[in-house]
Amino acid sequence: MTPVRFSRRHVLVRALALGATALVAGCDRLSRSEWFFQWLQPAEKLSQVTQHLLAPRASMAQEFSAADLSPTFRSNGSSNPSNPIYQALALNHFSEYRLKVSGLVENPTAFSLADLRSLPSRTQITRHDCVEGWSAIGKWKGARLSALLEHVRPKPEARFLVLYCADSMDEAGNQYYESIDMEDARHSQTLLAYELNDQTLPVANGAPLRLRVERQLGYKMAKYLMAIELVDNFEKIGGGKGGYWEDQGYEWYAGI
Ligand SMILES: Nc1nc2c(c(=O)[nH]1)N[C@H]1C(S)=C(S)[C@@H](COP(=O)(O)O)O[C@H]1N2
Ligand SMILES: [Mo]
């Protein structure tokens, strides 16, 4: 069980203990059942019930067919990081590239692109929605982030993944970065994508590796991934709000 789920369950347990009927009244199936409250007493059963109530977060983003693909998938934000380290990697077709995964994990690992391609993958056609008001449908293939997590083995206190990118966004050299929680990280549609529309991921769209976290807006989909750190909070990272755009005032959870 992830710490995130635990904390939610904790909130729910507390709410029920306080007799927060409003919370339960939202759920028809339960509000009609007197027995529910009697049956609730043992802690183990409570845990099962709350798990079930929380299940909707496992919902899937809509997927499309090949006929729906946008003719081109535009680039937005950075389109070719000027960072010399990135440029040198690109010159060698990313053969020297390593994704460093560290922080609150038992098995810190540097993954080559071949390593990432050997992890269990998923291919999906989804719609990308940018806050600036455009959308595009693309076909993504990438390593399941859940599989990478199985390899690095998060410690129980890990709550978030912070994703560091190669591009700086301003004169001060502030790097693009993002963060997601363990639940989104383990979702089956969350990928470290290395292909777009059956081609190697182009530089304009985040080569060699970018995040797909399909139930959120475009700015969460960090491109040019260089490193991932597992943390229990992100207060001391960047401006402390969990992402480059979040530090400028955007929502941290950019649910669609
Ligand atoms: N590293 C990095 N990731 C980024 C951005 C960026 O500028 N730098 N822009 C974000 C925004 S606002 C969007 S909409 C998408 C755009 O992805 P695309 O270039 O493949 O269209 O990437 C997101 N990820
Ligand atoms: Mo965006």
> Which ligand does the CA of 206 lie closest to?
1
In angstroms, the Cα distances linking 186 to 55, 110, 183 are 14, 19, 5
pLDDT digits (tens, 9 = 90+) for 137-194: 999 999 999 999 999 999 999 999 999 999 999 999 999 999 999 999 999 999 999 9
Q: Give, using CA atoms, the residue closest to atom 2 of ligand 1.
A: 223
pLDDT for res 28? 37
Model confidence at 37, pLDDT cuts 50, 70, 90, reads: very low
Model confidence at 13, pLDDT cuts 50, 70, 90, reads: very low
Residue 17 has pLDDT above 60, yes or no: no
pTM over 0.85: no
Residue with the bigger pLDDT between 137 and 50: it is 137
State whether the beta carbon of 224 lies less than 6 angstroms from ligand 1.
yes
Mutation pick for ligand 1 pocket among 69, 73, 74, 76 (CB with most ligand atoms within 8 Å): 76
Q: Which atom of ligand 1 is nearest to the CA of 74?
A: 21
Residue with the bigger pLDDT between 91 and 37: it is 91
pLDDT digits (tens, 9 = 90+) for 229-238: 999 999 999 9
Adjacent-strand bridge partners of 128 = 136
pLDDT for res 30? 38
pLDDT digits (tens, 9 = 90+) for 71-104: 999 999 999 999 999 999 999 999 999 999 999 9
> Which ligand does the CA of 167 lie closest to?
1
C-alpha 225 – ligand 2 centre gap (Å): 16
Please report, rounded to a whole number, the percentage of residues in the chain having pLDDT higher than 70.
77
C-alpha 53 – ligand 1 centre gap (Å): 34
C-alpha 226 – ligand 2 centre gap (Å): 20
Residue 19 has pLDDT above 60, yes or no: no
C-alpha 243 – ligand 1 centre gap (Å): 12
C-alpha 160 – ligand 1 centre gap (Å): 20
Q: What is the Cα–Cα distance from 225 to 107, expressed in whole angstroms?
A: 19
Nearest partner of 205 among 133, 144, 141, 131, judged by Cα: 141
pLDDT for res 129? 98
State whether the beta carbon of 176 lies less than 6 angstroms from ligand 1.
yes
> Which ligand does the CA of 176 lie closest to?
1
Residue 39 has pLDDT above 50, yes or no: no
Q: What is the Cα–Cα distance from 75 to 247, expressed in whole angstroms?
A: 22
Segment 44-64 shows an average pLDDT of 64
pLDDT for res 197? 98
Angle at 15 between CA 14 and CA 19, to 5 degrees: 115
